[in-house]
Amino acid sequence: MAKFFFIATSMILGCAGTAAAQDITAKPVQTRPLASASAMTLRPGINLAEQSPGPDEGRVEVKILGGGKVKFLGGACAASPADPINTCARNTKLNSAVQLIAEPLNGYRFAGWAGRCASSNAQKQCTLAVADTLVSASAAFVKNAAPMVALSLRYEVPSMQGLRITLKPDTELTCTASGGANPGWGKAYDCTAEFEEGATVAIKAEDWFAGGSPIDPKRWGGACQDAATSICTLKIDQPKAVSIAMYH
């Protein structure tokens, strides 16, 4: 019996109806390994179920509030003042223990844990037991309060004259009156206010009885003695004392 062999070739039809053979060559396909769940960083709004742990794994979910980060399972979950909420999740073996370490950013302090780490209170380390398929904890960081620095202001005015003092930023000025340098003719006022360390403060002085006209800069003394106008601007990096003398 005669045997017939057929060789199939692919044909590409040209515009004029002619055919040209095309060589088919098998090329290897490059593949990229899938990222493991332990390297995943998840943000709010992502469906955690899409990256479920394996049958012998549990998911550790950490939420960050404020300016800081938590290190765990070879990585870190961080948040910043510009992006103050973040949630990260990684998978690990069931019945294992995971250590969480809280690290505040500069200018922040660690305020404490919640969730499964709540018993650790304000300690920066928490050992989390992965006994369930999902265990979660959250860490809160708050901004440090700047230390307060005192500004003292003493001004003396004749009996028939007064001053209007304005502070920017707006701050309460607490004053007490005394006899001043010329008892019986005028009064002196000793005032204090507190500002955050490093704040820039503008002190504006106006003659109350002259319809709010600016004072003569020569009236300034103390930390404001070099002021060139009725407004003295100071950086409160340490306690400052200012004086104003309205006597002629």
For position 65, what pLDDT does the model report?
Answer: 92
CATH code for the domain defined by 55-143: 2.60.40
Quote helix, strand, coil % in the chain, to nearest 5. Answer: 5, 50, 40
Of 248, 243, 246, the residue nearest 191 (C-alpha): 243
Question: What are residue 208's phi and psi, to 5 degrees?
Answer: -65, -40
- DSSP state letter for 100: E
Sorting pLDDT into bands at 50, 70 and 90, what band is 8? Answer: very low
Burial of 124 (0-12, 13-18, 19+ CB in 10 A): middle
Q: What is the pLDDT of residues 20-70, one digit of tens each?
A: 444 444 444 343 333 333 333 433 333 343 367 888 899 999 999 999 999
Q: What percent of the chain has pLDDT over 70?
A: 75
What residue ranges do the domains of the chain occupy? 55-143, 148-245
Rounded CA-CA distance 31/53 in Å is 23
Q: Residues 56, 60, 64, CA angle at the centre, nearest 5°?
A: 170
Helices (H) and strands (E) in the chain, counts: 0, 19
Is pLDDT above 90 for 203?
yes
Q: What is the pLDDT of residue 180?
A: 54
**E strands, 105-182, in order:** 108-115, 125-130, 134-143, 148-158, 163-168, 174-178
Chain mean pLDDT for the chain: 78
- The confidence score (pLDDT) of residue 120 equals 86
Q: Would you call 50 helix, strand, or coil by DSSP? A: helix
Among 198, 213, 183, CA closest to 145:
198
Residues pairing with 79 in the sheet: 68
- The string of pLDDT tens digits covering residues 94-145 is 999 999 999 999 889 999 999 999 998 888 999 999 999 999 999 999 998 8
Position with higher pLDDT, 118 vs 14: 118
| Residues 219 and 243: beta-carbon distance below 8 Å | no
Q: pTM to 2 decimals?
A: 0.49
Q: Are strands 96-104 and 68-72 parallel, antiparallel or unpaired?
A: antiparallel
